[in-house]
Chain A
Amino acid sequence: MAITSSLNDLSLAELFQLIEYRRKSGCLRISTLPNSLAPEAKTYHYYIWFQQGRFVAAVNRLDGQGLVSEITKRGWLSQRVVERLSSRCPAKMPLGVYFKIQGVLQSEQLHLLFSTQLRQAASLFEVQAGEFNLDTNVPLPWNEVTGLSLRSLDVALGALRMLNNWQALAEALPDPSLAIQSRGVIQQKCRLNALDWQVWEFAQGTVALKNIARQLNQSVEKIQQAAFRLVLAGLVEEVPVTRPTADQKIRSTNLIVEPSTLETVAESNEVEKPKVSASFLQNLVSFLRSQA
């Protein structure tokens, strides 16, 4: 099955999250489009490959020569040797692994090649206008695979940490008037930086991001970006601000904010609503069943 849309609708970071959580295998094609800043720009295609939710390769061509061209460009092997060895590589074995078994490439060299692919994928996080197509029905191009892989979420979080231009993600960032709330149990290890952890300390849903920025003496944009990384990592969700409970105040005195500083405060008053009887619901079910 393939899903297609615009990167304005779903950012690359959110796509990587989807791929990780759904353990998808296949190819994510990114096509850049001309935009307001570069109206004459050409369309370029990039291909990112995943296996069981993990990033395994990224190339900008479909002829299966991306990895070998990197190897020959660096002068590690001649074109003749690469061609001879490639033709002997067993089916469904990563070419990088085969070269290592043959003793013509070392682990460090494979890591370098993999890092190059990672950098190429990371650069796509800045694409301002583009479309994506995620096709889970295509086989892995073993010629492009080093044999190394990385959790897609780690690739996305790493790319976001290096990102200079966040324009492409402007719509995806949590609104400054919202707060973040912990999702509870953390099931997977996540690589977070110091600011991410500082923002995480506010994940009680009681402080708006703009007020977190004030308390941490950071720009609102930086806090939005950190909150986005936490959302992406599945650690928190963005929520409207609520009044802190007494328990939260005791546990974390540094999070106390005066109610007057809160922009939107959910009232804790439960609206009294009339209860409905079991017989009422039974009648309704019977009625609906007759209509269904």
Chain B
Amino acid sequence: MEVLRIVITGAVGAGKTTLIRTISEIQVVDTDRQATDETALLKPTTTVAFDFGRLTFAPNQALHLYGTPGQARFDFIWDILIQKAHAYIFLVDAHRPQDFRSGRRILSFMNQRAKIPMLIGLTHMDCPGAWDLDDIALALGLFDEATRPAMVPINPTQPSSVSQALMRLVQELMKAPVLN
């Protein structure tokens, strides 16, 4: 079986679990537990280990999707997942500026741990108070427009939107030297 491993990461509530549920052909293996800290204000449950989804698109060919926990205290799991990934999507909720700082720290962690193709998916771009793409880039510490990763709007609840983002990521991957 030939497998491509993609990690979906981002701050709490960015839409990681939703994205995987939207595209996965199997019931997502999730490890959501009742949130007990400030995360509980945002959503009733949160991912404490990782989510796993699968998409088989040809005989013996599948895409495996791993969603990381959003909280920094689980960074040892981020490390395990990103080291084995071929590429990753970093999700940012465009209308929650309070998450940009933690998002920047996750992004920095991932970039340092693995030099692999990635893209930034911007969720909730159509919501009131959503920041525009270039402002978000700066808040994430991406100062240089010429060298920053691709940034695309994404709706984690819509299969077509998720497919488009994955397609963009795979195209990035095709430029990278991981092919046989």
Contacts and interface: CB of A to CB of B under 8 A. Distances in A.
13 contacts: A18-B139, A234-B143, A240-B112, A266-B79, A266-B112, A276-B179, A277-B179, A278-B180, A280-B61, A281-B174, A284-B57, A284-B63, A291-B159
Nearest to A10: B97
Interface stretch (B13-21, B45-53, B128-136): B128-136
A21 B3 CA distance: 41
A273 B174 contact: no
Interface in B92-151: 97-98, 100-101, 105, 108-109, 112-113, 129, 131-132, 134-135, 138-139, 141, 143
A219 interface: no
Interface string A55-79: 0000000000000000000000000
B39 to A, nearest CB: 16
A66 B98 CA distance: 33
Nearest to B161: A292
B33 interface: no
Given A285-B170, A288-B163, A172 B139 contact: no
Nearest to A278: B179
B173 interface: yes
A291 B86 contact: no
Interface string B1-31: 0111100000000000000000000000000
Given A171-B101, A266-B79, 8 more contacts: A4-B129, A18-B135, A21-B138, A237-B108, A238-B108, A273-B85, A274-B3, A283-B58
Contacts of B139: 10, 14, 18
Nearest to B141: A237
B180 A10 contact: no
A122 B101 CA distance: 22
A162 interface: no
Interface residues of A, number: 43
Nearest to A24: B135
Contact of B109 (A172, A240, A280): A240
A17 B137 CA distance: 12
A129 interface: no
Interface string A1-24: 101111011100010011001100
Given A238-B105, A275-B178, A280-B61, A6 B170 contact: no
Nearest to A21: B138
B43 interface: no
Given A277-B179, A285-B167, A10 B101 contact: yes
A205 interface: yes
Interface of A: 1, 3-6, 8-10, 14, 17-18, 21-22, 171-172, 181, 183, 205, 231, 234, 237-240, 242, 266, 271, 273-278, 280-281, 283-285, 287-289, 291-292
B35 interface: no
A289 B97 CA distance: 32
B34 to A, nearest CB: 25
Interface residues of B, number: 45
Contact of A9 (B3, B98, B174, B178): B98
Contacts of A171: 101
A164 to B, nearest CB: 23
A6 B141 CA distance: 19
Which 7 A-B pairs have CB atoms at the shortest separation, nearest pair first? A9-B98, A287-B57, A291-B163, A288-B167, A271-B83, A292-B163, A5-B97
B68 to A, nearest CB: 15
Contact of A285 (B86, B100, B171): B171
B98 A5 contact: yes
B180 A3 contact: no
A277 B135 contact: no
Contacts of A3: 97, 129, 131, 135
Contacts of B170: 281, 284-285, 288
Q: Which of B63, B84, B109, B112 has the most CB of A within 10 A?
A: B112
Contacts of A285: 167, 170-171, 174
